[in-house]
Structure 1
Amino acid sequence: MNSSQHYPIGSTGQKWSDADKLAWLAMQSVKRSYQEQVLSKVLALGEQFTLEQYGALSCDEAKYPLYALKSHNWQPTKQIILVTGGVHGYETSGVQGAIRFMETKAQAYAEHFNIVLIPCVSPWGYETINRWNPGAIDPNRSFYQDSPAEESAAVLNYLASINADIFAHIDLHETTDTDNSEFRPALAARDAVVHDNWSIPDGFYLVGDTINPQPAFQKAMIAAVEQVTHIAPADDSGKLIGVELAQFGVINYATKALGLCAGLSGATYVSTTEVYPDSPLVDDENCIIAQVAAITGGLDYLLTL
C-alpha cells in the first residue's frame, strides 16, 4: 500500500505551489480550544513553577502565545531535563501528558534536576488537529538553524536564551491511524513523491537516536510504560513504522539529520515517545498515563547513574 492516492490539492507529479499551500490552509478549521484545554492548565501551574512566555505564533499572537515551565529551584549544579509535547499538534496525549507530568510528578524530580517543559510547541496544530503548521511545514522536521517553521525556531531561540545545556530530552508523540489516512497522503502530494504506508503499530513504542541510542535508558522507559499499557509488537518484518527493531518496543532514527525535535540538542539521553491512541485497548486517560510513565521511567533510570 502506498500514499500516492489522489489528494484533493495539487497536481499529480508536481510539488505544491504557494497557491496550493494556501488552498490546503483554507481547508483547515479549529476543532478544539488551545485556551481551554492547554493554556488554562499551563497558566494554573504558574505558582508551582516558573512560567515563561517565549513567543507567540504570527498567525494570531493573542490566541497562540507560547509558554514554557521551569522548576523554581534552578541550580547550576543540577542537570537539565527537557520535556517537549505538541510538536505535532494533533498528537493529543503528548500535550496532555506533558502537563500531567508537571501537575503530578515534576515537583519530586525537581529536587534532583532542573526541569524545563514546553507543553505545546504547535498550538495552531493542536486546535486544528494537524501535523503541519499554517505554512504546510512539519515542525518536527525543522529543528535546525534558520528553521522554516516558526514553532521550531521559537523553541530553539528560547533554549539558547536560557543557555540550557540539556542532559536528557524526552519528546512526547503519538502515532495515529490518520498518519496513513491523511498526513502521509498529504505529504506525498505536497512533495510530489510516493510514500509506502506502514502498518500502524498497536501499542506504545520509543524512538531513540541512531548515533546515540542509549539502550538501557530506553529499556527502563519501556519497562515503566509496560506497567500501565501495552507495548507495540513488531510487524511481520520485525519492524515498527518501517524501521528495524533495536530492542523490544524501541527503534532508532537519525534525529539530528532529520531535523527532529529530539535532535535539537547535544543531550546524552534522548527519546521520543509514541502512543497509539486509536488502539481498542486504550482510552485517552491511559494514553496520558503512558506518557507520564515514560518520563518518570527515564528519570528514575537517570537517578541511578
Structure 2
Amino acid sequence: MSTASASYPIGTPGTPWGNAERAEWLSRQTRHRSYESDVLSVIERLRSRFDVQEYGRLEYGPGVYPLMAIRSRDWRADRPVVLITGGVHGYETSGVQGALQFVEQQALDYAGRVNLLVAPCVSPWAYERIHRWNANAIDPNRSFRDDGQAGESAALMQLVASIAEPILLHIDLHETTDTDETEFRPALAARDGKPFEPGEIPDGFYLVDDTESPQPEFQQALIEAVEKITHIAPADDNGEILGSPAAARGVIQYPLAQLGLCTSMTNARYRTTTEVYPDSDRVTPELCNAAQVAAVCAAIDYALSEHLTSPHGAVPRA
C-alpha cells in the first residue's frame, strides 16, 4: 500500500501540456518488453484450438502493432457472448497475462455454452513501455465513447459493435499499482495543468461495478472466488477504496459511461472491472494471474447460472 506526494518533471505547473510537452514526454518513453514475444507468440499457439482475428492495427512512429482477438471456434448464434478484455492499460501486466492464461487453461471448459471473445492486450504500445497511456499521452480507458481519441479504444469498440449475438458478460482485467501514485497520477495532473493531490493505493484486490446498473450479488460472487487466491482490499478509515465509497466488501462503483471506461461498451447485464494489487509482498506475478483467471471463471459461472434460470434466457444486446 503506497502513498506519495509528487511533482512531475515535464511542463509548467498549472498549465496543460501542448505539443512540445507531449513530444518531450514521448521522447522519454522506453521499450522494456516485447508484445510479439509475450503476447503474439502465445496467441499464435492458440490458433490450433481457437479462431484468431486481427481487428485493427496501430502505427506509432516506426512501430506497427496488430490488435488481436481470440474467438470460440464453435461460435453459434444461439449462445450468449462473454467478452474478456485485458491490457487496456498496458502496464497492468496480469490483465494481459491473466486473459491469455484463462484462454490457455480454462476457456475450453466453456465450449458449447458461450461464445468467447477475448482481446488480451488492447494497448500493445503501452504494454511494451509499461505505461498507462498510448503514444499520444491519451488514456484508452477514458476513451470508450464516440468522441474518444484513442485508436486502441476505437478499434475495440468497432470489433464489439460487429458482434450480432447478445453479450451476457464483460469482464475487464486491470491492476492498481503503486506507480499509479508515484508516476501516472502525477503525470495526469501535469498533463492537464491541475494540482496533484496525493492518495492511497488500496492493499488488495477489488472490483469496479456500474453506478447506474449495479449487480451486487454478481460482484460478491467474484470476491468470494478471488479471496481464495489473494487478499481483498479493505475500505479505509473513511469507508472508501481509492477515494470511492465501498458499496460492499471489495467493491466500488463508477459511472462507467460517463467516464468512458471499457466496460461501458456494451449493455451486458453483467459487467465488472477487476483490480489486482501486484505490489503487495503477499503476492507473486503467478498469484496475480491466478486471481484474474479465478475472477473470469467465477464471472462466467455466475452469469451462466443466472442466464439459464431467467425467463427465456433473455440478454440485453450490445
Match of 2:37 in 1: 36
Match of 2:16 in 1: 15
Is this contact kept in 2: 1:4–1:188, CA < 8 A? no
> Which residues in structure 2 correspond to 1:224-239 (within 5 Å)?
224-239=225-240
Q: Which amino acid letter does the alignment assign opposite residue 6 of structure 1?
A: S
CA distance in 1, matches of 2:189, 2:36: 32
Match of 1:147 in 2: 148
Match of 1:300 in 2: 301
Is this contact kept in 1: 2:98–2:290, CA < 8 A? yes
Compared CA separation, residues 6 and 226, structure 1 to 2 (3 A): closer
Identify which range, 187-196 or 3-12, moves more after superposition: 3-12
Identity %: 53
What is the TM-score with the length of structure 2 in the denominator? Answer: 0.93
Q: CA deviation at 1:60?
A: 5.7
Q: Which amino acid letter does the alignment assign opposite residue 191 of structure 1?
A: D
Match of 2:85 in 1: 84
3-state DSSP class of the match of 1:64? Answer: strand
Match of 2:7 in 1: 6
CA distance in 2, matches of 1:164, 1:8: 48
CA distance in 2, matches of 1:6, 1:298: 39
Identify which range, 191-200 or 205-214, moves more after superposition: 191-200
Q: CA deviation at 1:266?
A: 1.0
CA distance in 2, matches of 1:2, 1:64: 35
Q: CA deviation at 1:146?
A: 3.4
Unaligned runs of 5+ in 2: 307-318
Is this contact kept in 2: 1:4–1:194, CA < 8 A? no
3-state DSSP class of the match of 1:291? Answer: helix
> Which residues in structure 2 correspond to 1:127-276 (within 5 Å)?
127-163=128-164, 165-276=166-277
Is this contact kept in 2: 1:14–1:191, CA < 8 A? yes
CA distance in 2, matches of 1:62, 1:28: 13
Q: CA deviation at 1:239?
A: 0.7
Q: Which amino acid letter does the alignment assign opposite residue 36 of structure 2?
A: Q
3-state DSSP class of the match of 1:53? Answer: strand
**Structure 1 residues 230-277: Cα deviation after superposition (integer angstroms, max 9, x where no partner):** 111111111100000011111111111000001111111100000000
Q: CA deviation at 1:6?
A: 2.8
Q: CA deviation at 1:3?
A: 7.7
**Structure 1 residues 178-206: Cα deviation after superposition (integer angstroms, max 9, x where no partner):** 00000000000000112433211111110
Compared CA separation, residues 67 and 108, structure 1 to 2 (3 A): same
Q: CA deviation at 1:164?
A: 5.1
3-state DSSP class of the match of 1:246? Answer: coil
Unaligned runs of 5+ in 1: none
Report the aligned-residue RMSD: 1.6
Is this contact kept in 2: 1:199–1:235, CA < 8 A? no
